[in-house]
Amino acid sequence: MSLGSCLIRPFAGLRPRATDAAAVAAPPYDVLSSGEARKAAIGKPLSFLHVSKAEIDLPPNVDHHAPEVYARSAENFQRMIDTGVLCRDGRRCYYAYRMVMGEHVQTGLVAVASVAAYDSNRIRKHEFTRPDKEDDRVRQIEALNAQTGPVLLAHADNPAVERLLAQATETLPVADVTADNGIRHTLWMIDDGQTIERIGELFEGMPSLYIADGHHRSAAASRVAAARRGKANVADVADAGGSAEFFLAVIFPAAQMLIMDYNRVVRDLNGLTEEGFLAAVGERYTITLSVSPVTPERAGVCGMYLGGRWYRLEALPGRVSPTDPVRRLDVSVLAEQILDPLLGITDLRRDTRIDFVGGMRGLGELERRVNSGEMAVAFSMYATHMADLMAVADAGLVMPPKSTWFEPKLADGLVSYILD
């Protein structure tokens, strides 16, 4: 079997020196706004934000997708290599990657995953992508000739893989960083030939992997591979395990992954009074006034903050599809029962009247945005489960926008993938 047909493979990672790892590691490029990134990088000349958000080193009015932004990103990246801040391993390895957030611990494998498997849906998707965001990632990959933002993947639980990773974490780490938000990121090298071979065999036996976060990064990698494939003999690329035929990924057991709630806030009541809106909601949900913020305890339940009060909403019988893997999601039920028919929000991707609040911000953020007058109503959602995500992906379907909020987030800069 050629490397080109493998589901995953090891690679020679580009990593910061152990002494520089804490200074280099940064939040993912799509978590911080440019303004937040500028502030976060103050006094941190080695922060990977100078690569992933290079507009912070240019005037504030620069177009974030202007050619000079990608050029500055490549310049900063190359400088970190030339000065030895980033060094490439001399052989192909896998890496074990552990994230610790409070009591939550997850340990996964850093590898490069097959574009062919992505294209054939063996690496399965659950979201649509936007062409403009794909374009941005394509330009970034081409400017750097590298992939620096890993795709977050999941695999069905496999005790043999977990045992091998546990063994790897008993060695000395090559990076051990506690980020500003308190999340600990630890990286170990796996360079033993027998272990590398066994990991490859175990993953090759898996029917599929699942994209948790990083749909635009994986789609961009596929586009880069297709473009480069067009300039070379396709068979030669596959047989040689051409580097562009793979993309950087961190793969965790599904049971270890944490999906938090992804809540909704809406700017107005679509011409309804609060009383009229409550009455209309009452035709679709059982409404109970709550003296405290509502954290939904199960599927079919959501919270609503309106007029300074919290309400518990439970969908009435017949309002939730028992079998459709997309329509039975609570975010879908809310869209079908309230957002579309009552609030007139039919396009969650483009309608500016709705916004989304990740669970890490807490329910107090929902109250703040309504109490300020910025928004009229907020909804606290029951978190989507990994089993739901996998069921949707297995059915070849897609979730509504902003259905999942994964925590903790992977760090950028701890390991990158150079395209030879």
pLDDT digits (tens, 9 = 90+) for 257-278: 999 999 999 999 999 999 999 9
Q: Would you tell me the crossing angle of helices 193-204 and 159-168 to the nearest 10 degrees? A: 150
Q: What is the pLDDT of residue 31?
A: 86
The whole-number average pLDDT for the span 70-78 is: 98
Q: Taking the CB of residue 246, how many other CB atoms lie within 10 A of it?
A: 27
Number of domains in the chain: 2
Give the confidence band of 2 by pLDDT, cuts at 50, 70, 90: very low
Q: What is the distance between the alpha carbons of residues 141 and 317, in angstroms, rounded to a whole number? A: 49
Q: Are residues 219 and 340 in the same domain?
A: no
pLDDT over 90 at 242, yes or no: no
The residue assigned the tokens 């007139």 is 344
Q: Are residues 266 and 292 in the same domain?
A: yes
224 located within any domain: yes
The whole-number average pLDDT for the span 203-225 is: 96
Q: Are residues 125 and 179 in the same domain?
A: yes
Nearest alpha-carbon partner for 86 in 55, 47, 28, 54: 47
Q: Are residues 112 and 211 in the same domain?
A: yes
Beta strands 309-315 and 301-306 are antiparallel
The whole-number average pLDDT for the span 198-219 is: 96
Q: What is the pLDDT of residue 130?
A: 86
Q: Are residues 253 and 266 in the same domain?
A: no
Give the confidence band of 232 by pLDDT, cuts at 50, 70, 90: low
Give the confidence band of 235 by pLDDT, cuts at 50, 70, 90: low
Q: Are residues 336 and 230 in the same domain?
A: no
397 located within any domain: no
pLDDT over 80 at 245, yes or no: yes
The pLDDT mean for the chain works out to 94
266 located within any domain: yes
Overall pTM > 0.85: yes
pLDDT over 70 at 345, yes or no: yes
pLDDT over 50 at 1, yes or no: no
Range of the domain at 353: 262-382
Q: What is the pLDDT of residue 314?
A: 96
Q: Are residues 220 and 293 in the same domain?
A: no
8 A C-beta contact, residue 363 and residue 387: no
Q: What is the pLDDT of residue 360?
A: 85
